[in-house]
Amino acid sequence: MNSTSHFTIHSPWRQGLRDALPLLGGYIPVAISFGLIAMQAGISIWEAIAISTIVYAGASQFLFVAMFASGAPLWLIIIMTLLINARHVVYGPNIAPWVPRGRAWPLLMHGLTDQVFALALIRLPQLEQHQRQGWFTGAMLIAWFSWIGGTALGAIAGEELTRRWPLLGEVMPFALPALFLLLIIPKFVSRPWVISLSITVIIALVLKLGGLINVAIPLAAGCGMLLYYAVDYREKHRG
Q: Would you say the pTM of this structure is higher than 0.75?
A: no
Lowest mean pLDDT among 29-43, 74-88, 97-111, 155-169: 155-169
pLDDT at position 83, please?
75
Q: What are the extents of the domains in the chain?
A: 12-185, 188-234
SS (H, E, C) the chain: CCCCCCCCCCCHHHHHHHHHHHHHHHHHHHHHHHHHHHHHCCCCHHHHHHHHHHCCCCHHHHHHHHHHHCCCCHHHHHHHHHHHHHHHHHHHHHHHHHCCCCCCHHHHHHHCCHHHHHHHHHHHHHCCHHHHHHHHHHHHHHHHHHHHHHHHHHHHHHHHHHHHCHHHHHHHHHHHHHHHHHHHHHHCCCHHHHHHHHHHHHHHHHHHHCCCHHHHHHHHHHHHHHHHHHHHHHHHCCC
- Percent with pLDDT over 90 in the chain: 17
34, pLDDT greater than 90 = no
